Amino acid sequence: MGTQTGAGRFAPSPSGPLHLGNARTAILAWLFARASGRRFLLRVEDLDPQRSRADAAAQQLAELKQLGLDWDGPVVWQSRRGGRYRDAVDMLRREGLVYECFCTRREIQEASSAPHGAPGAYPGTCRNLSDIDRERLCRIRRPALRLRVPPEERRGEITDLRFGQVCGEVDDVVLRRRDGVPSYNLAVVVDDLAQGIDQVVRGDDLLSSAPRQAFLARCLGGLPPVYAHVPLVVRPDGTRLAKRDGDASLPELAAAGWDAARVRAIILDSLGLPDLPLHRVVERFDPAAVPRESWCPALPERT
């Protein structure tokens, strides 16, 4: 075990109970952190008022404890940290790195489905608006705020323990949504920096977000973490589990006879690890031996 001073974390969004994939990622994040002598922190990503549910957050924390996870210090709740996100946007604004974007989702989709647009990528419509246009639009719509990424920074590289050096797109990411809510990308970066997190273990569906988050971390005067984007849990047809649909949720599994101890044992088995208390498993944990393919377990029938 090393003597690192950094920290790893698990950061669930409380939009429903955890599913088997979330549980596996949480256990992996814990093992990666503990095996490298890091602290392990828990953060509830409850910024989105439409999708976050207080009861789901409490349930997720209970589920993590039942799986045998522990964490250092109090749980951090993003919904209580609005001041930090405002400060970060102000700092970026002072550096000339923020602009107002008046586009609706539909306008962005239409522009990005044009022949040369990358799907979903922001086409830059509002990047260079004149003052007159900006004032006119301000009277009609409340703007989102976006990061102004200089052209030479539009490709970024990150270090990932599974994928190696990964180069990806850094786009003009939204910092604050039109409804005033800080964006996921801003909040993740602000909090990872503020919490001293230098190791981010999470599902590989977020790999493509890492270069933009790493760039944002540098803009805010910090260093990006080392990443480990771990494989997802999928159904036999290859689709991934979705928390909002209650897919293979821990309560559903418990109802089918897979209690927390069984879920943990099955997850550890999928990682080639013995069914022991986690503080003993950690001695045998080798990050390089984590399977690289997504995991397709035989799930109990849905009730």
Query: Catalytic site residues?
Result: 243
Supply the DSSP symbol for 214.
Answer: H
| Token pair recorded at residue 166 | 């990964």
Q: Least distance (Å) from ligand GLU to the CB of residue 274?
A: 27
**Backbone φ, ψ for residue 43 (5° rounding):** -130, 130
**Which residue do the tokens 């405002």 mark?**
86
* Binds ligand GLU (CB under 6 A): choice among 38, 162, 202, 229: 202
Pick the closer one to ligand GLU by CB: 28 or 219: 28
Backbone angles phi, psi at 52, to 5 degrees: -90, 140
Residue 206 vs 276, nearer CB to ligand GLU: 206
The residue count for the chain: 303
CB of 52 to ligand GLU, least distance (A): 10
Evaluate whether 292 touches 228 at the Cβ level (below 8 Å).
Answer: no
Residue 206 interacts with ligand GLU (CB under 6 A)? Answer: yes
Q: How far is CA 111 from CA 119, 123, 124, 147, 173, in A?
A: 9, 7, 10, 19, 16
- Could you give the string, one character per residue 41-80, with x where binding to ligand GLU holds by CB under 6 A and - elsewhere? ----x-----------------------------------
Q: Which of 78, 88, 82 is nearest to 219 (CA)?
A: 88
| Closer Cβ to ligand GLU, 172 or 192, answer by number | 192
The stretch among 7-15, 152-160, 272-280, 293-301 that binds ligand GLU (CB under 6 A) is: 7-15
229 DSSP β-pair partners: 202
Report the residue closest to ligand GLU, judged by CB.
202
Could you identify the residue written with the tokens 């849990």? 233
Closest CB to ligand GLU among residues 13, 36: 13
Closest C-alpha among 175, 48, 169, 151 to residue 100: 175
In whole angstroms, how close is the CB of 133 to ligand GLU at the nearest point?
35
Residue span binding ligand GLU (CB under 6 A) among the ranges 9-17, 34-42, 125-133, 168-176 = 9-17
CB of residue 209 to ligand GLU, shortest distance in Å: 7
Give me the residues that bind ligand GLU (CB under 6 A), please. 11-13, 45, 188, 202, 206
